[in-house]
Structure 1
Amino acid sequence: MAHAKKALAKVPEVTLAFWIIKIAATTLGETGGDALSMSMNLGYLMSTFIFAGVFIAAVIAQIKAERFHPVLYWITIIATTTVGTTLADFADRSLGIGYAGGSAILLALLFASLAVWHRSMGSVSVWTISSPKAEAFYWVTIMFSQTLGTALGDWTADSAGFGYTGAALIFGGLLLLIVIAYYVTDISRTVLFWSAFILTRPLGAVVGDFLDKPVANGGLAMSRYGASIALVMFIVVCVVMFRQRPARVAH
């Protein structure tokens, strides 16, 4: 039991502050990923290799950590969302799979990750993580969800023609429905958590695009560097102001 508590202490309690920081982190993933691949002209593939290296290093550090470290946890989350941005863009644009095709493939990979995790560990609840193996499943699943969110956000805003604000309203509305379901239904909390976790990524993706895309394309034409720095500062302030407590072990 001591080992389980020790491992789970590295997963934060799911609160309103958690979701605020998560949305900001996913938005940062979009602006930060675009800054490296587009503004620095490194391209999607090279940027993916760079962010993948950061992601792998962060996950190893997170798994090896003896207890929950808020800064390390959120660095790892940001790493998953930046690599998700460039990886999805590479698949959708450079490989020519398209937003719909990329979303379908990534959705299948996400469900496969959850299925293997459940078959191997007996649960995909974040409140039952008690081993490095479960943590590895957790982070791989998160990486797939972040990549899916990028493709889904781009598909909704561009291919489906809803634009950035329209797509933001759609995903924001879906998140609101999940909140309502949490309070008025008995739907599995694990299902609701992963549904919300997945949907915050396309919301962040379209908000990030809205901030840095040209005005002619429906954006605000903000500097990707400036938007990314502002988001980093916002996340830091939130982590400092709102105490990040470790989640309790589910019995």
Structure 2
Amino acid sequence: MNKLPNQMTSAWLNKVPEVTLGFWIIKIMSTTVGETGADYLAVNAGFGQAITGSVMATLLAIALFVQLRARRYVPWMYWLTVVLVSVVGTQITDALTDGLGVSLYLSTTVFAAALAGIFALWYRSEGTLSIQAIFTRRRELFYWAAILCTFALGTAAGDLATEALGLGFQLGVVVFGVLIAITMTAFRLGANKVLTFWIAYILTRPLGAALGDLLSQSRQYGGLGVGARLTSVMFLVVIIGLVIAAQRNEFFKTESAQ
């Protein structure tokens, strides 16, 4: 069946996935992997913050280069980049907090202001913050800058809530889960879909971080004692399975469109 030009643009040129239940599941799990993976490499594996940060930043730069050169959305490429952004975003916040002693209150405020600045420049340049039309290089650069900032902000806000404010991991999961549910309800009731998307996207980061800490941290610190390595592996397996399904779906969509 032939498609209209605007449908072709959406289906073939948009560089990000459709926002479905699978999207949110992978997103939350990738944030958890970012939290537990960064902790495992820096602490458990003994690489330290500096080496882990340098290696992950290099891998992210390579992944972004490949992602930017792609002509359309490729599930494995996109989600690999998201996972690496998650790790690097966590590393940035951890380096500021643990390495430089920057207050979580300050880092949360700075990252929130930085994200607001990115959104302001993006909207001024493109007239929209929608992710349904990411098919130019400039829009994609704005998109990935915002994504990186949301991960850094989410890490700082999550740590601020669960550690500095004393919510703990279990209550943190509940609180951020409820906030996401409220956001989704507002969307269902007619709230602006672009605004609610980005609010939910930001909130999934502290939710994933709290969930990762809840599973990986020892019981004496309020966790379940699963461990960072096992938690990362379990979530990566689920992510890989969902991405393979998405990749197959994209393949069949391509075949049917030809």
Q: Under a length normalisation based on structure 1, what TM-score does the superposition of the two structures give?
A: 0.92
What is the Cα deviation at residue 221 of structure 1?
2.1
Equivalent residue letter for 2:46: N
CA offsets 1:58-97 (integer angstroms, 9 cap, x no match): 1111111122211111101101100011111111121111
RMSD: 1.8
What is the Cα deviation at residue 19 of structure 1?
0.4
Check conservation: 2:31, 2:208, Cα contact below 8 A: yes
Structure-to-structure mapping, 1:166-245, within 5 angstroms? 166-185=171-190, 187-241=191-245
The match for 1:23 is: 28
- Sort the Cα spacing of 1:164 and 1:128 in 2 relative to 1 into closer, same or farther, 3 A: same
Check conservation: 2:151, 2:205, Cα contact below 8 A: yes
CA distance in 2: counterparts of 1:117 and 1:54, whole angstroms:
26
RCO comparison, higher one (Cα < 8 Å, 6+): 1
Structure 2, unpaired ranges of 5+: 252-258
- Within the candidate set 146, 149, 159, 2:154 is matched to 149
- Sort the Cα spacing of 1:84 and 1:26 in 2 relative to 1 into closer, same or farther, 3 A: same
The match for 2:13 is: 7
Check conservation: 1:44, 1:86, Cα contact below 8 A: yes
What percentage of aligned pairs have identical amino acids? 34
Check conservation: 1:26, 1:201, Cα contact below 8 A: yes
CA distance in 1: counterparts of 2:202 and 2:249, whole angstroms:
21
What is the Cα deviation at residue 223 of structure 1?
2.6
Equivalent residue letter for 1:189: K
What is the Cα deviation at residue 128 of structure 1?
2.1
What is the Cα deviation at residue 239 of structure 1?
2.3
More divergent stretch after superposition (132-141 vs 92-101): 92-101
Q: Quick check: 1:119 aligned with 2:124?
A: yes
CA distance in 2: counterparts of 1:85 and 1:228, whole angstroms:
14
CA offsets 1:22-49 (integer angstroms, 9 cap, x no match): 1011111111111111112222233222
Q: Under a length normalisation based on structure 2, what TM-score does the superposition of the two structures give?
A: 0.89
